[in-house]
Structure 1
Amino acid sequence: FRIVPDSPMWIERGVLLLGGLWFVNLVNFMDGLDWMTAAEVVPISAALILIGLFGNLTPSTTIIAAALGGAMIGFAPFNRPVAKVFLGDVGSLPIGLLLAWCFVELAYAHHLVAAILLPLYYLADATLTLLRRLVRREAIWLAHRSHFYQRATDNGFTVIQVVSRVFALNFGLVALAGLTIYFRSAFVDAGLLIIGAGAVAIVLRSFATPRR
């Protein structure tokens, strides 16, 4: 199976490998607030389940999404602010791996834009933060508080305000991803991807702006 049939096989496989490794790690990086991972995983897993039930994902991928969603719903009460239980590396890394697999399967099912839209907030926050630190020649292997969601808490947002905005944004991205699957049009895909990127940019900008 190919995601982009016209591209060389080695390029596609290389991008998938590097992208998968990055996504596994960024899920770990983004798990820095109570309820943050739940606000990301629950909407995404719900979307993947619905996509699977409508026949656009393999049964095995749908089952993985259902297991992830159920696990996060069960975990959320114990991770509510102020949390008593945390995912840590042992929890967040497998979640990142399973989600990455689901997105690859979604892309293989000819829904590449949907596979980009669903995790777009995490992708944008983590990737832009990494690029910004590289430009500033910071030691990127050291701990930091430069992610947009971390800057939001420094700028006066409460944890609940941050995760509720991420939760709402993710449901918006879920809706856009669903529309790309429904319309199956390159023109619609491009427009919805722009809308999704704009919505993410608005949230990131609000997180980076001090509250008055």
Structure 2
Amino acid sequence: MSPLLLLLSIVLAAILSSAMTWALHPLLSRYALARPNARSSHKTPTPQGGGLAVISATLIVASIFMALSQSIELGIPASVFGATLFIAAVGAADDLKPIPVLPRLVLQTLAVGTVFLTAPTNLHIVPAYPLWLERGVLLVAGLWFVNLVNFMDGLDLMTVAETVPITAALVTLGLTGDLDPMISLVAAALGGAMVGFAPFNRPVAKVFLGDVGSLPIGLLLGWCLLELAYRGHLIAALLLPLYYLADATATMLRRLIAGDKIWIAHRSHFYQRAAANGFTVTGVVGTVFALNLGLVGLALASIAIPSSTGRIGLFIIGALAVTSVMSWFARRR
């Protein structure tokens, strides 16, 4: 994949996302206001649905550059892009009028399942296990990843601070030949679209992503990370989103043990507790962004190191860094 092509896709996606967010803002202000609830960090009604611009810019730019690059096979992206549009539609409907938990979960499962049903049968992360078992585990993991991105999108710029470092790492791996150029192109478009959205989402946010943005962003990121794992880089695929994985999973387990209904809105994620404990929004997001840059460095190093022991060591370092940040967030300043 040409570096110039990737750079152009980033710039074009950023411009298109920014222009579309600006154009959609009056409409979202009228029809899609997010009113403060138990999960919210904002105190006044704020338009949501800016993710419509992010996802549209991502898919448009990625499709254009794929069409220009005849060396890229379009079969898999077509099904993934279709699933992305479907789950974005589910998110948009939920933004306008909340969908009950069970139907929403079924619809999300259809979208995530499409990604695995269309994946070639020769792709295996752990060849020792039957394909049906691995795909079943991945389906559950994919569904959880889509939702945890949604759960973690509860603070201004938080998803930007997560998505931009991950996509930057995926673009870098595409340039070094460690990742399929198709994946790096999608990552470049998504990263650029998030950069274009960022000025509208910085504190105090003028517009939120909404479920129409967070759900398909989770699907696209999950697909890119899955492709990275299929290339034999499982440790890197786990390191890149490790803060989101750890915060969301630890919070869910803690609430389950406490007997809470995990589908009810709440403010007990570590990044939310940090805001309640005296951290500024900028301080929380800046810390997460810096942590993610460190995780990117560890992920890239894990690919360069041939030793499995060395890769596991890097993962442990990343896990300790994430645990330290979460513990720091949980303490009152």
Q: Does 1:139 align with 2:300?
A: no
Amino acid in structure 2 at the alignment position of 1:121: Y
- 1:160 pairs with 2:269: no
Deviations 1:65-99 (A, max 9, x none): 00110001000011000000110000111100000
Counterpart of 2:329 (choices 181, 187, 207) is: 207
Q: 1:104 aligns with which of 226, 230, 233?
A: 226
Aligned pairs (5 A) from 1:118-129: 118-129=240-251
Opposite residue 160 of structure 1, the aligned amino acid is: T
The count of corresponding residues between Structure 1 and Structure 2 is 211
Distance 1:193 1:168 in 2: 17
User: What letter corresponds to residue 49 of structure 1 in structure 2?
Assistant: V
In the alignment, what sits opposite 2:317? 195
Comparing 54-63 with 90-99, greater Cα deviation is found at 54-63
| Partner in structure 1 of residue 106 of structure 2 | none
Q: State the partner residue of 2:125.
A: 3
- 2:164 corresponds to which of 42, 51, 59: 42
Partner of 2:273 in structure 1?
151
Aligned equivalents of 2:187 and 2:137: distance in 1?
23
Which secondary structure state, in structure 2, belongs to the residue aligned with residue 178 of structure 1? helix
SS of aligned partner of 1:210: coil
Say if 2:208 is the partner of 1:86: yes
- Report the alpha carbon displacement of residue 9 of structure 1 after superposing the two structures with TM: 1.7
**Post-superposition shift, 1:10?**
2.0
**CA drift at 1:184:** 2.5
Distance 1:77 1:185 in 2: 42
Looking at structure 2, the residues matched to 64 and 163 of structure 1 have their Cα atoms a distance apart, in angstroms, of 24
- State the SS of the aligned residue for 1:87: coil
What is the deviation of 1:7? 1.8
What secondary structure does 2:159 align onto? helix
Cα-Cα RMSD: 0.6
- Matched to 1:58, the amino acid is D
> What is the TM-score with the length of structure 2 in the denominator?
0.63
Q: Residue 232 of structure 2: SS of its match in structure 1?
A: coil
Separation in structure 2 between the aligned mates of residue 54 and residue 196 of structure 1, nearest angstrom: 23
Residue 22 (structure 1) aligned with residue 136 (structure 2): no
**Partner amino acid for 1:37?**
T
**Equivalent of 1:186, from 283, 308, 311?**
308
What is the CA-CA distance between 1:111 and the residue it aligns to? 0.2
Percent of aligned pairs sharing the same letter: 68
- Equivalent-residue separation in structure 1 for 2:263 and 2:313 (angstroms): 36
User: How far did 1:52 drift?
Assistant: 0.8
Aligned residue in 1 for 2:190: 68
After TM superposition, what 4+ stretches of structure 1 lie above 3 angstroms from structure 2?
none
* In structure 1, C-alpha distance between the alignment counterparts of 2:262 and 2:124, rounded to whole Å: 33
Q: Distance in 2 between matches of 1:184 and 1:98?
A: 28
Task: Tell me the TM-score normalised to structure 1 length.
Answer: 0.98
Which residue identity is paired with 1:55? Answer: G
Residue 8 of structure 1: CA displacement? Answer: 2.2
Unmatched 5+ residue regions in structure 2? 1-122
Q: CA deviation at 1:138?
A: 0.5
Partner of 1:51: 173
SS in 1 for 2:273: helix
